[in-house]
Chain A
């Protein structure tokens, strides 16, 4: 099993450009999450999904959109990138709610100039 994978690993964008980050999991998990990690601010939840076709807002959803068309994939989109979106983005998946561990992907380092 590959677990949770993220594509790409690194990306540099110019302000105003758009891009999509892909998260894939092969563990048949129901729940998937997108977090961003900035120095001194921990992991902040952007959006999450409790199943195929469903998404919900997290703590910092502005400027991002998500889609979960297939159970194994969770896409994070930036329509018009801003320097404030420079961050490391982590995807995670989890079987269901309750006492179930989140499994994290390796992260995507995004720089917006």
Chain B
């Protein structure tokens, strides 16, 4: 069956460290993978998109990798800050005119 899994429900890290979140999928062949941020009580906000032929994408302190062999994407936040505390969602673009498939999210807490 098709599955998308984000490594852990919650992740706590110390301010200044690099946070690494994982998104694994099975029985999908996504053309794109997207990452979103969601704050409590609000809608998700799009952060980054990476294509299947791209290994890495960066935006300021964010870096996303996409390994179609391992069927995995890693999302890194370097020099993390308490303001980065939120839930981060990965989403698969499976093509074929279908909506994105969202993971359950990882709740990141950056402790000062």
Pair from one complex? no
Which residues from chain A sit less than 8 Å from chain B, CB to CB?
A: none
Residues of B within 8 A of A (CB): none
